[in-house]
Structure 1
Amino acid sequence: MSSLIPGEMLAAQVVKVTHPSPSCHIQPVTSYSQFNERYQIHKIPTPRSLGPNEILLKTAAASLCHTDLLVTAGKFPTKLPRTASHEGTGIVQAVGSAVKDFKIGDRVMAGLPKRPCGDCINCKGPENWHQYCQNIEGCIGFLVDGAFAEYLVADSAFSAKVPDDLSLVSAAPLACAGITIWGGIVRAAVPKNGWLAIVGSGGGLGHLGIQMARVKGINVIGIDAPDEGIALSKEAGCEHVFDARKGKEEVVREVQALTNGLGVEAAINVSYHEYHAA
């Protein structure tokens, strides 16, 4: 590994706090997990060894997902300390011995899964659900260290090169939010010129879904409730946006009127708000 890579790096972590036991000076220190607290920035060793299929990235951007809040709240079996964020991009600094698709200098979006087994039903299909592999080493930011650090180790098998015309900042959320809504669009299988409704169109997933569906030639109907969500839906390119606060019956009537009584081929619900229903 290059001597230019520093021996230590900064990382934002959910931490395990260690204090001397107050009862007796000869007892060992006591440790406890500090969930439900702010991240702490620590100086930790930079990863120096890579598995055969791993790549080392110098982090360019890392984003915060709602799931990161669940990790912080202790909702996952996360061992502490743990470096957060599963949405990261960076520049390749080193590659494992078996890596063939990446080289030093490549712009990369890190994949979430790390070392799934490749043999279980989730790995082999019929769906591509490696992240649910029961024998996986972990997903970055959950069970293994993530992207809120100056350097990040990713599994090359699930990482992707970032096109030159897409910034590394814009690419980072695609690692989770982007893939999630894209999976819904693919499974919806709406044909070109067909109609797709996105409920929660002005949210993190919804506004990405609008842009992806429009690239595929799909007519998109956005449905959201807050003024900000309606505005973002329009900003993302959605020409038909309905206000969920009018109630389900009125929204259905508006959708039917727009589509000459046919309705939509599919609806994707990415909101859990009480006003929202697909």
Structure 2
Amino acid sequence: MAKAAILETPGEGLVIGEVEYSDPAPHEVLIDTKACGLCHSDLHFIDGAYPHALPAVPGHEAAGIVRAVGSEVRTVKPGDHVVSCLSAFCGTCEFCVTGRMALCLGGATRRGKGDAPRMTRADGSPLAQMLNLSALSEQMLIHENACVAIDKDMPLDRAAVIGCAVTTGAGTIFNACNVTPGETVLVVGCGGVGLATINAAKIAGAGKVIAADPLPEKRALAATLGATHTVDAMADDAVKQIMEISGGGVDWGIEAVGRQASADLAVASLRRGGTAVILGMMPLDCKVGLGAMDLLGGKKLMGAIMGMNHFPVDLPRLVDFYMRGLLDLDTIIAERISLDDVNAGFDKMRAGSHARSVVMFD
């Protein structure tokens, strides 16, 4: 039995309960979870903005130690330290074989409808696994293509935030945008994903890195992580400020919070030929668009789910960046809490005033 945070009714928070895991299938890995970051994507399901089969265990930004593996697993072994990633990939579909692993729908990485569930409640009733992981639990039972082994010297609390926030933010800079040194990058929203994007833009050699956020404390964090300029995203003249700082608009306008206004700001701040990149999970009725003059100016708009990562390659590299002092994960983590305090952690996220909370498991 493992203790987990269970979502039973959207809008009513999480309930701490007991969960039982089945034995690993041939390609599955049982992990003792050591740390799990709280991500705004979880909040969309917890608050009911996005639908999901219930009851379910949320959480998808985690690190832990492998306890057991299935008979066919070759990529990790018991005792390995691993980071999990929600973009589990099958390895054989069109997206995987053309190098777009983050777009894989991952059907082959989940158990079939006729198979026993990976996890159940103490009374034997099934629990839905959220985003292939369900990491707000003392254990995870996942497909081997949803985790990767990392350097055992890497602190697992810092490793956890690489699993989503940093993979998304850094992946956007390195993979989706392939930022060229000297280009100008705007990041709208300075939560965990936005701060990681800013940090990666600095590593990539961006000329100017402009952070836009309504909260002064978030803008201060952005400056610590590499922003060369900061702007109040709610200011009436925010676009004018960005245009002046960038000398006519940015090459990359990256939306990292999931709000209509922030997406519109990213688009409005582009220079000719610039690209707006939407990372945040926006309300399902939102639309982002380019006008006729934008299109005549060669401007582009794209999504970049999970930073278009290649996580078996990217994650160990990001760990190495941290170990070498290039990647600042310490600033991204605002607090470390217990599983029992998970609802309070999400309340702080709703308030929006600080960066990542990380649940620590003994």
- Please say whether Structure 1 and Structure 2 have the same fold, judged by a TM-score greater than 0.5: yes
User: What is the CA-CA distance between 1:57 and the residue it aligns to?
Assistant: 0.8
User: Given the alignment, which residue of 193, 197, 207 partners 1:209?
Assistant: 197
User: Given the alignment, which residue of 143, 155, 177 partners 1:167?
Assistant: 155
Kindly indicate whether residue 220 of structure 2 is the aligned counterpart of residue 231 of structure 1: yes
User: What is the CA-CA distance between 1:134 and the residue it aligns to?
Assistant: 6.0
1:197-228 Cα shifts (integer Å, max 9, x gaps)? 13225222111112222223333412213212
Paired position in structure 2 for 1:181: 169
For residues 76 and 119 of structure 1, the distance between their equivalents in structure 2, rounded to whole angstroms, comes to 29
User: What is the CA-CA distance between 1:66 and the residue it aligns to?
Assistant: 1.4
Paired position in structure 2 for 1:24: none
Identity of aligned residues (%): 29
Alignment: residue pair count: 244
Q: Residues 273 and 217 from structure 1, CA distance in 2 versus in 1: closer, same or farther, beyond 3 angstroms? A: same
SS of the residue corresponding to residue 101 of structure 2 reads: coil
SS of the residue corresponding to residue 148 of structure 1 reads: coil
For residues 175 and 210 of structure 1, the distance between their equivalents in structure 2, rounded to whole angstroms, comes to 17
User: Given the alignment, which residue of 3, 21, 26 partners 1:10?
Assistant: 3
SS of the residue corresponding to residue 192 of structure 2 reads: coil
**TM-score of the two chains, using structure 1 as the length reference:** 0.76
For residues 199 and 150 of structure 2, the distance between their equivalents in structure 1, rounded to whole angstroms, comes to 17
The higher relative CO (CA closer than 8 Å, separation ≥ 6) is in: 2
Query: What letter is aligned with 2:6?
Result: Q
User: What is the CA-CA distance between 1:191 and the residue it aligns to?
Assistant: 1.8
Q: Any stretches of 5+ residues in structure 2 without a counterpart?
A: 112-127, 270-362
**TM-score of the two chains, using structure 2 as the length reference:** 0.60
Q: Any stretches of 5+ residues in structure 1 without a counterpart?
A: 1-7, 16-33
User: What is the CA-CA distance between 1:154 and the residue it aligns to?
Assistant: 2.2
For residues 201 and 74 of structure 1, the distance between their equivalents in structure 2, rounded to whole angstroms, comes to 22
8 Å Cα contact 1:86-1:112 kept in structure 2: yes
User: What is the CA-CA distance between 1:242 and the residue it aligns to?
Assistant: 3.6
Query: What letter is aligned with 2:150?
Result: V
8 Å Cα contact 1:55-1:154 kept in structure 2: yes
User: What is the CA-CA distance between 1:101 and the residue it aligns to?
Assistant: 2.1
Kindly indicate whether residue 245 of structure 2 is the aligned counterpart of residue 254 of structure 1: yes
For residues 90 and 206 of structure 1, the distance between their equivalents in structure 2, rounded to whole angstroms, comes to 24
Paired position in structure 1 for 2:296: none
Query: What letter is aligned with 1:274?
Result: A
Task: Answer with 1 or 2: which has the greater Rg.
Answer: 1
Paired position in structure 2 for 1:268: 254
Paired position in structure 2 for 1:35: 10
Paired position in structure 2 for 1:191: 180
